[in-house]
Structure 1
Amino acid sequence: MPFPDELGPAVAVVDYDPDWPSEFKHLAGRLRAAVGDRAVAIDHIGSTSVPGLAAKNCIDAQIRVPALAPDLVILLESAGFRCRPEPWNRTETSYGQPCEKLVFAPPVGERATNVHVRVTTGPNTRYALLFRDYLRADRDARQAWGAFKQRLAQSVPDLADYGQIKAPATNLLMTAAKRWATQTAWTVA
């Protein structure tokens, strides 16, 4: 759930913004400064990481770490990021396996972001990267996914409802993504 300062109007899915990659690059620099060599990698993930894809104007970043540890919360909170407390921001299921994670909101007053901290070898890490790379590679899937999200946002303006309705559709998308990964011998870089 959003923090009170993040509450705004209804869900809006907007056309791709060519500034999103540079906004991610700035965010990644701040995250790298906060966690240092604790990060194996910092990835631009989610819909804003896919050129041409309509998305909510919220940059998603993934920090890949060898293991989740309490000091990561301290490091990120010291940089102003806020750990999201909800259970679904602590555990998620990917490929049928429960996976631990942490999710952070931006510092108060900053642009919408979600910072996902995941174990580098976790299936949820692979899932996020496969989602991005598949939609980057498949123009038809990218256009269909963007159109679906725009229609959904127009008819379901509540963020929680939007997310719950989108989840099963994401699972269908990822079935095609897994086929694509097998066909192309895609691996996590």
Structure 2
Amino acid sequence: MPTFEEITRHHDENPDEDPWVVGPPAPETVEVVPYDPDWPRRYLALSAEVRGALGDVVLGVEHVGSTSVEGLAAKDVVDIDIEVADPRDEDAYVPALERLGYVLVIREPSFHEHRCLRLAEPRVNLHVFGPDCPEAIRHRMFRDWLREHPEDRALYEGAKRAAIPGGGNVMDYNARKQEVIREIYDRLFRAAGML
């Protein structure tokens, strides 16, 4: 199990690492839409497909990100975290996921060996981490906090809407809302006695 320090540490990109497997994403219009009650059902169908394709290779599957928080406006993209024994062993999971239509787009050895695969339709970001990964724990904590704290859910939604103007790619949008995300993390870590 990771330490509190490992879980509460924010990730800063490694400037010496190019994470893009197929090149950086093209600029796109970011659209935040009202909460869709179909998102949890979509996740259940997608997670069943992933579990079916990977069998015992997948150790855990979680719906994370904004579409996992009832009432929260979001991009119409389902985020899923999966846990495998070793994310570096791409042969154990990437070919099976490619057969489902996923494309490996991010490889970040310096960031907990994170891998991200994307599905174009429906839009999915499938994040791959190893067992007890601090970032996967953070994702679950953030999701659960927003589910239970409507004031921070509203704060985060406001940050999302404020981050849309300015164009660029999704990474630019994410950077513009980072300050509020870290503020919420600080609050939830303190409430959990981790800071």
Common fold: TM-score over 0.5: yes
Amino acid at match of 2:171: A
Q: Equivalent residue for 1:177?
A: 188
Q: Deviations over 1:138-170 (max 9, x none)?
A: 1110111112211221x2332232122223332
Of 155, 175, 181, the residue aligned with 1:144 is 155
CA distance in structure 2 between the partners assigned to 1:91 and 1:49 by the alignment: 26
Match of 2:117, SS? strand
Report the Cα offset of residue 9 of structure 1.
Answer: 4.9
TM-score by length of 1: 0.81
Are positions 1:102 and 2:115 aligned together? Answer: yes
Which stretches of structure 1, 4 residues or more, deviate above 6 A after TM superposition? Answer: none
Are positions 1:127 and 2:148 aligned together? Answer: no
What pairs with 1:1-189 in structure 2 (closer than 5 Å)? 9-68=28-87, 69-70=89-90, 71-85=92-106, 89-91=107-109, 98-106=111-119, 108=120, 110-153=121-164, 155-158=165-168, 159-182=170-193
Structure 1: unaligned runs, 5 residues or longer = 93-97, 184-189
CA distance in structure 2 between the partners assigned to 1:131 and 1:26 by the alignment: 23
Q: Deviations over 1:75-128 (max 9, x none)?
A: 21232210014xxx4246xxxxx411110011x5x1111000111211011111
Structure 2: unaligned runs, 5 residues or longer = 1-19
Q: Equivalent residue for 1:186?
A: none
Determine if contact 2:32/2:75 at 8 Å carries over to the other structure.
Answer: yes
Choose between structure 1 and 2: higher helix proportion: 1
Match of 2:94, SS? helix
Determine if contact 1:18/1:51 at 8 Å carries over to the other structure.
Answer: yes
Amino acid at match of 1:175: D
Amino acid at match of 1:10: T
CA distance in structure 2 between the partners assigned to 1:65 and 1:137 by the alignment: 28
Q: Quick check: 173-182 or 122-131, which moved more?
A: 173-182
Match of 2:29, SS? coil
Q: Of the two structures, which has the highest relative contact order with CA contacts closer than 8 Å and spacing of 6 or more?
A: 2
